[in-house]
Amino acid sequence: MTTDAYLPVDGLRVALDGGVLRLELDRPAKRNAIDDTMMLGLIENIDSAGRDEAVRVIVLSGVGADFCGGADIVARNTPGGERPRVGSIQRRVPSLAHRLIPLMLSVQTPIVCRVQGWAAGIGFQMALAADITVASYDAIFWEPFVERGFTPDSGATWLLPRLVGLARARELVLLGRHLSGAEAADWGLIHRSVAASDLDGEVTALVDRLAVGPTVALGLAKFLLAAGQSTTIEEQLRNEAFALELSSRSEDFREGLGAFRDRRPPDFKGR
């Protein structure tokens, strides 16, 4: 693919930097709340990256003080506006938020998420669906749904119980607890929390490491970790054998063996 495959949309910056695809939410005045255009832009660009051998890591971040304040439901529910016909949410959500989160979980390109300020609603879920999320200590993770009179979406009720257990998931969803970045790391919801001044450096180090890693093996390992959440041990062992067969045929596998034999750092090409 070429850089033409990666297109920005209103509210979403998109840049291909070597093997790194950078997706940056860009509505700081709205806490980077996501509208339908941004959602489709995220979906299209992540889907393209998953099919592009040149992309070895995706970085998801937000401009300004916040990562993402959630979906822009205010714009869609302006008082006095025309009320949509019954079933509009049920028809719309499967092609938007409910397409984005499974895509993030399944794409075999590693995703790194940088969180500062608010990560609410789908912003919270994107941070959970990323492979590695780093947040500032004072970031705020929040599930606002029940406090606003409606029920969770974007995979909140699937992701949270699996990551932190049902009791803590209830605290976040039913009681609307605000969770700091430091607490999110302690709970095991995210990879790490750091001081705000160290956030860029930490994310850059992780991205640089993944961008020169064995891309085929990383993608298959991501697949295995996801599949293992819902398979029996026998099924998962078959998955592991399948993934091992594929990864052992990669150029990076041969390079890894050669580096081990020669006692030198490997020079992986992502192939």
52 and 162 share a domain?
yes
Q: Sign of dihedral through CA atoms 200, 102, 248, 239?
A: positive
CB 44 within 8 A of CB 95: no
Residue 98's pLDDT is 87
Distance from C-alpha of 6 to C-alpha of 22, rounded to nearest angstrom: 10
CB 11 within 8 A of CB 204: no
Distance from C-alpha of 222 to C-alpha of 234, rounded to nearest angstrom: 18
119 and 194 share a domain?
yes
CB 26 within 8 A of CB 11: yes
201 and 229 share a domain?
no
Task: Indicate whether 121 belongs to any domain.
Answer: yes
For residue 168, what are its two tokens?
């803590």
Residue 151's pLDDT is 87
Residue 198's pLDDT is 98
Residue 170's pLDDT is 97
164 and 61 share a domain?
yes
Running DSSP on this structure, what letter comes out for residue 82? P
Distance from C-alpha of 207 to C-alpha of 98, rounded to nearest angstrom: 26
For residue 139, what are its two tokens?
């970031």
Domain of 130? 3-211
Number of domains in the chain: 2
The model carries a pTM of 0.91
CB 147 within 8 A of CB 167: no
Q: Which of the listed residues 211, 231, 246 is the one where a domain comes to its end?
A: 211
Task: Indicate whether 270 belongs to any domain.
Answer: no
183 and 122 share a domain?
yes
Task: Indicate whether 59 belongs to any domain.
Answer: yes
pLDDT along the chain (271 residues), means of 10: 80 96 97 95 96 96 97 63 63 77 96 98 97 98 91 93 96 96 97 98 97 96 94 96 95 93 93 91
CB 6 within 8 A of CB 34: no
Residue 83's pLDDT is 67
Task: Indicate whether 269 belongs to any domain.
Answer: no
179 and 82 share a domain?
yes
Residue 148's pLDDT is 86
52 and 133 share a domain?
yes
Please name the helix (run of DSSP H) or strand (run of DSSP E) that holds residue 25, with its range, or none.
strand 20-25
For 66, what's the count of Cα atoms within 13 Å in the CB-facing half-sphere?
A: 20
250 and 162 share a domain?
no
Beta bridge partners, 114, equal: 134
Distance from C-alpha of 65 to C-alpha of 181, rounded to nearest angstrom: 14
Strands 12-17 and 57-62: unpaired
Residue 30's pLDDT is 95
CB 108 within 8 A of CB 219: yes
206 and 222 share a domain?
no
12 and 119 share a domain?
yes
